[in-house]
């Protein structure tokens, strides 16, 4: 008989448990550091090693950064419904001259909106995919030469006040190559019951994944996170030339860029819960499945591309992979197990059925409804209640009893993507989930402060950019 605590371990995961304890250690360490060393500590041995391996000395000069030192790069493909709101949000935090948009083969008004708002904007000749668009924009805007740090920002993401005050100090350590943002799902939309279920599930994943996993994975001493999410992440530009950003055959870029940072020993990843950005998650089942499949496929494609090495990152990744596969298999077969255990309660003669009796005997010898409840359902409900309290979203409790079904769906999509990662290559082209246009009512002051339309020019290759002489200086 499988004990309930073994099922609970599969639900929570050894990986999450390990990093949760590391996160508690990090929390205690940071509290002690604030109390004992309120002033900035001297460079560590690792920091000195990073400076020695950086002969141009660029990392040494990249301390005490401000928003003036940060380039914002927004790749967008048909994001006309949301990009203006995202641009206006980031323009409140970063100088407008630092903001850059690359429209990747958009067929809507994405590019025209960026031009109207007054940021630098270019077009690609065709839809080359997010990674391809980022790579092209970095070169054409000369961001590595012009800025110490670049933020890759999704077009539907609204950076919140306090993001840069929390994140930029992490770059004071020259060993930090990138900083991951803290994602929160947009809850300001009017959603259907299915939409509330999908968004509530993502809220739960974000809350626990970041507070338990990400916080521990980005500690100073044990640093090994599998992803720097591309929705709002910052990279030190000095490390970008060492990253193969757009290799063939990958559907997404953020897993690959993270693996590159660790496997090429470019540095560590920083993370703080204070660097918050809000993003729109899918609110319909079709887009949710498509996005989940894209993420899972991109993860396994990246695993396929990067061979294992003798380092902490590979060891922690191996643990995560084993746990991911085993827990996914458990959740996929769980509905069938439940059905087998419930049928005799509905049909008393079921145990005497020739084919069903043997199956029920085999399953009930290892599993009972009570163990499934205490090992799977109850822990999941407890986590939902905790997240609802932390996020101050009591509405999440309305979906509590349906959220385990979302884990079954995620597991099925994830397992389906594993062979696909080895059987097929991707071209990186993308289609964002359906967006909800944000209605923004401009005040008279905002209308008076809006920039005049900016002329659209074209380079020698026929690709357009906006901004005129002042905006394109240094580009």
DSSP for 458-473 reads E-TTS-EEESHHHHHT
- pTM for the full model? 0.83
Q: What are phi and psi of 122, to 5 degrees?
A: -135, 165
Query: Which structural domains are found in the chain, ordered by start?
Result: 14-283+438-472 (3.90.550.10)
Q: Which residues contact 196 (CB under 8 A, 6 or more apart)?
A: 395, 398, 399
Residue with tokens 């083969």: 105
Asked if 457 and 116 count as a contact pair (C-beta separation under 8 A), the reply is no
Residue 42 in 3-state DSSP? Answer: coil
Lookup: tokens for 334: 């769980």
Lookup: tokens for 451: 């920039």
Residue by residue, DSSP assigns 73-96 as EEEESS-TTTHHHHHHHHHTTS-G
Residue 298 has what pLDDT? 94
Lookup: tokens for 80: 């006309």
Complete edge-to-edge strand list for the sheet that includes strand 456-458: 158-159, 268-279, 176-185, 232-236, 149-153, 70-76, 99-103, 120-123, 464-466, 456-458
Q: What are phi and psi of 463, to 5 degrees?
A: -90, 140
Interatomic CA distance for residues 141 and 475, integer angstroms: 5
Q: Which residues contact 112 (CB under 8 A, 6 or more apart)?
A: none
- How buried is residue 321: exposed, middle or buried, by Cβ count under 10 Å (0-12/13-18/19+)? middle
Residue 56 has what pLDDT? 54
Residue 440 in 3-state DSSP? Answer: coil
Interatomic CA distance for residues 381 and 386, integer angstroms: 9
C-alpha 217: how far from chain center: 14
Residue 14 has what pLDDT? 75
Lookup: tokens for 435: 């967006």
Asked if 156 and 237 count as a contact pair (C-beta separation under 8 A), the reply is no
Asked if 128 and 104 count as a contact pair (C-beta separation under 8 A), the reply is yes
Instruction: Please list the residues that pair with 236 across neighbouring strands.
Output: 149
Q: Which residues contact 28 (CB under 8 A, 6 or more apart)?
A: none
CA torsion, ordered 272, 278, 284, 289, to nearest 10 deg = -30
Lookup: tokens for 47: 């920091």
* Local confidence pLDDT in tens for the 475 residues of the chain: 566 566 666 666 778 888 888 888 888 888 777 777 655 544 555 555 555 555 555 555 567 899 999 999 999 999 998 899 999 999 999 999 999 999 999 999 999 999 999 999 999 988 888 999 999 999 999 999 999 999 999 999 999 999 999 999 999 999 999 999 999 998 877 889 999 999 999 999 999 999 989 999 999 889 999 999 999 999 999 999 999 999 988 999 999 999 999 999 999 999 999 999 999 899 999 999 999 999 999 999 999 999 999 999 999 999 999 889 988 998 999 999 999 999 988 888 888 888 888 898 889 888 889 888 888 888 899 999 999 999 999 999 999 999 999 999 999 999 999 999 998 777 666 566 555 555 443 333 333 334 444 434 434 343 444 443 333 333 3
Residue 447 has what pLDDT? 34
Asked if 2 and 326 count as a contact pair (C-beta separation under 8 A), the reply is no
Interatomic CA distance for residues 82 and 452, integer angstroms: 21
Residue 305 has what pLDDT? 94
SS (H, E, C) 106-147: CCCCHHHHHHHHCCEEEECCCCCCHHHHHHHHHHHHCHHHHC
Rounded to 5°, angle at Cα 421 from 419 and 423? 65
Interatomic CA distance for residues 403 and 406, integer angstroms: 5
Asked if 180 and 170 count as a contact pair (C-beta separation under 8 A), the reply is no
Neighbours of 372 (CB within 10 A): 18
C-alpha 77: how far from chain center: 18
Residue 297 has what pLDDT? 94
Terminal-residue alpha carbon distance, the chain:
67
Interatomic CA distance for residues 179 and 273, integer angstroms: 11
Rounded to 5°, angle at Cα 288 from 401 and 228? 100
Residue 418 has what pLDDT? 95
Q: Is 174 left (phi over 0), alpha (psi -120 to 50) or beta?
A: alpha
Asked if 301 and 251 count as a contact pair (C-beta separation under 8 A), the reply is yes
């Amino acid at each position: 008989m499988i004990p309930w605590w073994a099922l609970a371990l599969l639900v929570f995961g050894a990986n999450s448990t390990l990093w949760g304890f590391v996160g508690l250690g990090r929390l205690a360490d940071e509290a002690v550091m604030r109390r004992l060393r309120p002033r900035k500590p001297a460079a560590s041995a690792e920091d000195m090693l990073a400076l020695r391996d950086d002969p141009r000395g660029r990392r040494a000069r990249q301390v005490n950064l401000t928003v003036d030192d940060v380039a914002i790069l927004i790749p967008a493909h048909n994001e006309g419904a949301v990009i203006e709101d995202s641009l206006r949000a980031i323009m409140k935090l970063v100088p407008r001259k630092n903001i850059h948009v690359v429209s990747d083969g958009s067929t809507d008004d994405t590019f025209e909106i960026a031009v109207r708002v007054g940021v630098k904007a270019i077009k690609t000749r065709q839809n080359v995919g997010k990674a391809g668009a980022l790579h092209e924009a970095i070169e054409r805007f000369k961001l590595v030469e012009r800025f110490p740090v670049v933020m890759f920002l999704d077009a539907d993401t609204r950076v919140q006040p306090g993001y840069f005050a929390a994140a930029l100090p992490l770059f004071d350590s020259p060993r930090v190559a990138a900083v991951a943002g803290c994602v929160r799902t947009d809850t300001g939309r009017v959603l259907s019951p299915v939409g509330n279920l999908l968004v509530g599930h993502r809220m739960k994943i974000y809350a626990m994944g970041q507070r338990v996993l990400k916080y521990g994975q980005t500690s100073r001493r044990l640093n090994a996170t599998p992803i720097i999410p591309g929705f709002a992440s910052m990279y030190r530009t000095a490390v970008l030339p060492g990253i193969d950003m757009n290799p063939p055959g990958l559907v997404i870029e953020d897993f690959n860029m993270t693996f590159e940072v660790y496997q090429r020993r470019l540095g560590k990843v920083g993370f703080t819960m204070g660097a918050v950005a809000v993003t729109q998650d899918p609110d319909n089942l079709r887009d949710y499945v498509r996005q989940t499949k894209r993420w899972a496929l991109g993860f396994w494609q990246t695993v396929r591309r990067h061979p294992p090495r003798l380092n902490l990152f590979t060891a922690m990744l191996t643990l995560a992979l084993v746990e991911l596969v085993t827990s996914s298999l458990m959740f996929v077969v769980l509905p069938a197990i439940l059905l087998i255990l419930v049928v005799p309660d509905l049909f008393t003669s079921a145990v005497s059925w020739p084919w069903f009796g043997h199956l029920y005997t085999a399953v009930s010898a290892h599993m009972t409804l009570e163990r499934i409840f205490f090992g799977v359902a109850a822990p999941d409900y407890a986590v939902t209640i905790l997240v609802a309290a932390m996020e101050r979203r009591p509405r999440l409790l309305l979906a509590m009893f349906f959220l385990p079904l979302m884990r079954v769906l995620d597991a099925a999509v994830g397992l389906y993507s594993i062979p696909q990662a080895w059987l097929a290559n991707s071209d990186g082209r993308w289609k964002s989930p359906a967006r909800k246009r944000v209605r923004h009512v401009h005040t008279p002051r905002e209308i008076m402060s809006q920039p005049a339309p900016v002329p659209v020019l074209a380079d020698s290759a026929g690709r357009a950019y906006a901004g005129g002489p002042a905006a394109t200086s240094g580009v």
